[in-house]
């Protein structure tokens, strides 16, 4: 299995590759700009160095995550327009960098209702996907189930996917799924959750997994990541999840904390250890 972490682009975007290599990753995820700003610098000067480093590193696939500010479901006209523009720009940046996957949150409808929010998400994703020229797959990430959020259930994601291009796929976040009510604490629970996913979305559209334990309880709606095996999903849950044969070819990205208990190296080792066959 391929495991990696989210790495910083501080200094220059090509340094993200060096950081992923130093952490002994097989794959990695990054932002292409500050996740907390709307504006961003041009990538032309650093793109070639990034592409060369990726090609020589053996790291694959590379994943880009959208910044935090865009809200693709927002009923506020100016915010929605800026969000669509941001998604389109990020697709173009991925094409320039030759990155195949772009993960995006679906946002909040802010009380306007799921149907209205879904229409805006479909519009935004469709416009961005039309610019990708099949070079970039936009991955819709499931959410933790906070109030007014879009995409916390497999049903909601399915209703969006049926309206967008087939190049649009899914990133499954284990913490978010657990927080929104999908149990993964033992083998039968993992099997049931994956069966639900397959029945509503299809495992063929699962292109990436975010491997995060959960600080919150099952169905809590709390988006708080924990070290792999040390949260409410636990070691037993992750052992059954990571050894499930349906997931063996799916890249795994960790977005776990860094603190006195563990760093990226510790979480990668924990995940790889739990993924070894019984």
Q: Please provide the size of the chain in residues.
A: 278
pLDDT tens readout for residues 171-191: 999 999 999 999 999 999 999
Rounded Cα distance, 2 and 254, in Å: 11
Per the CB < 8 A criterion, the answer to whether 28 and 58 are in contact is: no
What is residue 169's predicted lDDT score, i.e. its pLDDT?
A: 98
| Active-site residue flag, 176 | yes
Whole-number pLDDT of residue 105 = 97
* 23: annotated active-site residue: no
Q: At 79, list the tokens.
A: 């915010």
Q: Which of 6, 33, 210, 239 is catalytic?
A: 210
Count structural domains, the chain: 1
259 belongs to the catalytic site: no
Considering 6, 19, 65, 205, which one is annotated as catalytic? 65
Please state whether the peptide bond connecting residue 61 to the residue before it is cis, i.e. omega within 30 degrees of 0: yes
Question: Structure tokens of 69?
Answer: 């500010």
Domain that holds residue 69: 3-275
Tens of pLDDT along 131-167? 988 899 999 999 999 999 999 999 999 999 999 999 9
6 is catalytic: no
Catalytic annotation, pick one of 37, 48, 68, 195: 68
Task: Give residue 220's pLDDT.
Answer: 98
Task: Choose the catalytic residue: 19, 33, 105, 227.
Answer: 105
> pLDDT tens across 206-218, in order?
999 999 999 999 9
Q: What is the pLDDT of residues 43-59, one digit of tens each?
A: 988 999 999 999 999 99
pTM of the model: 0.97
Selecting among 255, 269, 272, 273, the annotated active-site residue is 255
User: What pLDDT, on the 0 to 100 scale, is given for residue 146?
Assistant: 95
pLDDT at 278 over 70: no
| Residue 115, phi then psi, degrees to nearest 5 | -60, -45
Among the listed residues 90, 173, 213, 226, the single catalytic one is 173
pLDDT at 265: 97
Among 176, 205, 227, 262, the active-site one is 176
pLDDT digits (tens, 9 = 90+) for 5-55: 999 999 999 999 999 999 999 999 999 999 999 999 999 889 999 999 999
The pLDDT, as a whole number, for residue 277 is: 81
105 carries an active-site annotation: yes
Decide: 229 and 274 in contact? Cβ < 8 Å: yes
Give the pLDDT score at 273: 98
- DSSP calls for 31-93: -SS-TT-S-----HHHHHHHHHHHHHH----EEEE--SS--TT--SHHHHHHHHHHHHHHHHH
Where helices occur in 98-153 by DSSP H, the ranges are 114-132
The catalytic residue among 223, 227, 239, 264 is 223
pLDDT one-digit tens code per residue, 82-136: 999 999 999 999 999 999 999 999 999 999 999 999 999 999 999 999 998 889 9
- The residue from 23, 33, 120, 141 that is catalytic is 141
pLDDT per residue as tens digits for the range 238-277: 999 999 999 999 999 999 999 999 999 999 999 999 999 8
Contact indicator for 254, 273 with CB cutoff of 8 Å: no
| Domain CATH code at residue 234 | 3.20.20.150
Say which of 93, 225, 227, 262 is annotated catalytic. 225
């Amino acid at each position: 299995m391929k495991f990696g972490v989210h790495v910083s682009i501080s200094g220059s975007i090509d340094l993200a590759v060096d950081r992923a290599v130093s952490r002994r990753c097989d794959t990695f995820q990054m932002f292409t700009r500050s996740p907390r700003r709307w504006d961003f610098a041009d990538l032309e000067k650093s793109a070639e160095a990034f592409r060369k480093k990726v090609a020589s590193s053996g790291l694959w696939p590379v994943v880009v995550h959208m910044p935090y500010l865009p809200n693709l479901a927002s009923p506020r006209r100016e915010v929605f327009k800026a969000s669509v523009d941001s998604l389109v720009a990020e697709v173009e940046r991925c094409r320039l960098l030759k990155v195949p996957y772009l993960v995006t949150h679906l946002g909040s409808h802010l009380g306007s209702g799921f149907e209205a929010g879904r229409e805006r998400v479909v519009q935004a994703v469709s416009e961005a996907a039309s610019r990708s020229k099949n070079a970039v797959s936009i991955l819709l990430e499931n959410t933790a189930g906070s109030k007014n959020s879009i995409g916390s259930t497999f049903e909601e994601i399915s209703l969006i996917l049926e309206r967008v291009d087939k190049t649009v796929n899914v990133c499954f976040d284990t913490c978010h799924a657990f927080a929104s009510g999908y149990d993964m604490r033992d083998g039968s629970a993992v099997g049931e959750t994956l069966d639900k996913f397959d029945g509503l979305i299809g495992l063929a559209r699962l292109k990436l997994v975010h491997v995060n334990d959960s600080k919150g309880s099952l169905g809590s709606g709390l988006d708080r990541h924990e070290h792999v095996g040390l949260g409410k999903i636990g070691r037993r849950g992750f052992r059954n999840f990571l050894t499930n044969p349906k997931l063996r070819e799916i890249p795994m990205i960790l977005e776990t904390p860094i603190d006195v208990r563990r760093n990226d190296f510790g979480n990668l080792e924990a995940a790889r250890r739990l993924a070894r066959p019984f």
